[in-house]
Structure 1
Amino acid sequence: MNARKIIHIDMDAFYASVEQLDNPELRGKAIAVGGRSKRGVVSAASYEARKFGVKSAMSGAIAQRLCPHLIFVKTRFDRYREISQQIRKIFFEYTDLVEPLSLDEAYLDVTENKKGNPSATLIAEEIRAKIKEKTGLNASAGISINKFVAKIASDYNKPNGQKTVYPEEVETFLQGLEIRKFHGVGKVTAEKMYRFGIFTGYNLKQKSLEFLVENFGKSGTHYYNVVRGIHLSEVKPHRIRKSLGAERTFAENISSEIFMMDRLNDIAEEIERRLTKNKVAGKTVTLKIKYSDFSIQTRSKTLAYFISTKALILEIAKDLLYQEKMKNSVRLLGISLSNLNTDKGKKEEKNQNDDEIYVQLKFDF
Structure 2
Amino acid sequence: MEPGSEPQLDSSQETETLVKRLAGPSSGKAGLALDQTEINRIIAEASKGSKFYDNEKRKDKELTERINRIKKEKDESMRGVDIRKVEAAVDQLLVQLEAQRDLSQIIVHVDMDAFFASVELLYNPELAGKPFGVGRGVLTTASYEARKYGVRSGMPGFIAKKLCPDLILVSNNFSRYAEMSAKVMNVFRRYDSNMCPAGSDEAYLNITEYSVMHGLTAEACVQEMRKAVHAETQLSVSAGIAPNKNKPNGQFQIPFDSASIKAFMHHLSIRKVPGIGRVNERLLESIGIKTCGDIYTHRVVISVMDKRFGLKFLLQTHLGIASNIVEPHLREERKSIGAERTFSSLGDKEKVLQKLQEIAAELEKDMSRNGWTGRTVTLKYKLDTYQVFTRAKTFDRYVFTKEELYLVSPLAACVQYYYE
CA contact (8 A) 1:90 1:131 kept: yes
Which moved further from structure 2: 190-199 or 87-96?
Answer: 87-96
Q: 1:317-362: per-residue Cα shift (whole Å, max 9, x none)?
A: 3489469965xx79xxxxxxxxxxxxxxxxxxxxxxxxxxxxxxxx
The equivalences for 1:1-365 within 5 A come to 2-3=102-103, 4-35=105-136, 40-113=137-210, 115-117=213-215, 119-148=217-246, 151=247, 153=248, 155-156=249-250, 161-168=251-258, 169-208=260-299, 211-212=302-303, 214=305, 217=308, 219-232=310-323, 234-240=325-331, 241-247=334-340, 251-252=344-345, 254=347, 263-318=355-410, 321=413, 326=418
Query: Aligned partners of 2:186 and 2:162: how far apart in 1?
Result: 40
**Separation in 1, partners of 2:312, 2:320:** 13
Partners of 2:180 and 2:415 in 1: CA distance: 43
Does the C-alpha gap of structure 1 residues 266 and 22 become closer, same or farther in structure 2, counting only changes over 3 Å? Answer: closer
> Structure 1 residues 113, 318: CA separation in 2 closer, same or farther (over 3 Å shift)?
closer
Alpha-carbon distance between aligned partners in 1 of 2:373 and 2:182, rounded to the nearest angstrom? 25
- SS of the residue corresponding to residue 32 of structure 1 reads strand
Q: Map Cα deviations across residues 276-323 of structure 1 (whole Å, 9 max, x no partner).
A: 233211011113243443333322222232111233323433489469
What is the CA distance between 1:163 and its match in structure 2? 3.2
Q: Give, in whole Å, the separation in 1 of the partners of 2:318 and 2:220.
A: 26
Residues 242 and 127 of structure 1: is their aligned pair in 2 closer, same or farther, counting only changes over 3 Å?
same
State the secondary structure of the residue aligned to 2:122: helix
TM-score (norm 1): 0.75
Query: Aligned residues: percent identity?
Result: 36
| 1:8 aligned counterpart, secondary structure | strand
Partner Cα separation in structure 1 for residue 299 and residue 311 of structure 2: 9
Pick which of 55-64 and 295-304 moved more: 295-304
The answer to whether the 8 Å contact 1:212/1:224 transfers is no
Alpha-carbon offset, residue 101 of structure 1:
1.2
Instruction: Evaluate the alpha carbon distance shift between residue 198 and residue 17 of structure 1 in structure 2; reply closer, same or farther with a 3 A threshold.
Output: same
In structure 2, relative to structure 1, the CA distance for the partners of 1:313 and 1:212 (3 Å cut) is: farther
Task: Mark the CA change 1:239 to 1:219 in structure 2 (over 3 Å): closer, same or farther.
Answer: farther
Q: How many residues align?
A: 315
Alpha-carbon distance in 1 for matches of 2:229, 2:415: 50
Aligned residue for 1:342? none
Residues 203-246 of structure 1 show CA distances to partners (whole Å, capped at 9, x for unaligned) of 11233377257266374432222221221252113454432233
| Residues in 2 aligned to 1:221 and 1:215: alpha-carbon distance in whole angstroms | 8
Question: How does the TM-score come out when normalised to structure 2?
Answer: 0.66
1:97/1:110 contact within 8 Å kept: no
**What is the Cα deviation at residue 259 of structure 1?**
7.2
**Can you give the 5+ residue segments of structure 2 that lack an aligned partner in the other structure?**
1-99
Instruction: For residue 141 of structure 2, give the secondary structure of its aligned residue in structure 1.
Output: strand
Q: Is the 8 Å Cα contact of residues 290 and 297 (structure 1) preserved in structure 2?
A: yes
More strand per residue: 1 or 2?
A: 1
Contact 2:194/2:326, CA 8 A, preserved across alignment: yes
Letter in 1 for 2:126: E
